[in-house]
Structure 1
């Protein structure tokens, strides 16, 4: 967003320079064509701003979804590791009651 602000200020400065150069440095020569140019510049700026905003919003939503998916996968990994540790502990320490019942 900071880069867009810098570009906007630069383009505004260029448009101001071109305005004063085309009117021979006199504001009294402000005509309908100048007004149309200003309105066209505003329209183009709004279109470009809308496109850039749409793209940045979409990429931020995708990044947020990836972050949530990563957290979900990390949580699942922790749960699976806990289950594996419980199973390993059960295999190491078999229940003595089960071994006695199998001998009968």
Structure 2
């Protein structure tokens, strides 16, 4: 969003600069239909670009969140497997200890 704001401000400054370079001695009484159409066109282009950038940003954020969830799930699964492995190792150690204490002849 910060980049979008910076780009918007740069485009706004550029449009103001171009307007002052092309309109000498402009007063509010000189505001005509071509100016209004230009303003409406600028707003329309800004909304289209903003919508596209917002759509892409939202998609990226959703993908990143999904990857985080998958990573957390993998960590949880890893912890569960480690607990199961520790439990199996403990049972095997107990079984070996029991076999060592009661040797069969």
Structure 2 residue 22 is matched with structure 1 residue 22: yes
Structure 2 residue 17 is matched with structure 1 residue 5: no
Counterparts of 1:82 and 1:32, CA distance in 2? 74
- 1:1-104 matches, within 5 Å, as 1-27=1-27, 28-94=29-95, 96=98
**Structure 1 residue 21: Cα displacement:** 2.5
Query: In terms of mean alpha carbon deviation, does 9-18 or 71-80 score higher?
Result: 9-18
Runs of at least 4 residues of structure 1 off by over 6 A?
none
Identify which of structures 1 and 2 has the higher relative contact order when contacts are C-alpha pairs closer than 8 Å and 6+ apart. Answer: 2
Query: In terms of mean alpha carbon deviation, does 88-97 or 31-40 score higher?
Result: 88-97
Counterparts of 2:34 and 2:69, CA distance in 1? 52
Unaligned runs of 5+ in 2: none
Counterparts of 1:18 and 1:25, CA distance in 2? 14
CA RMSD of aligned residues (A): 2.0
Unaligned runs of 5+ in 1: none
Tell me the number of residue pairs that the alignment of Structure 1 and Structure 2 aligns. 100
**Structure 1 residue 29: Cα displacement:** 2.4
Question: TM-score, normalising length from structure 1?
Answer: 0.85
- The SS at the match of 1:93 is helix
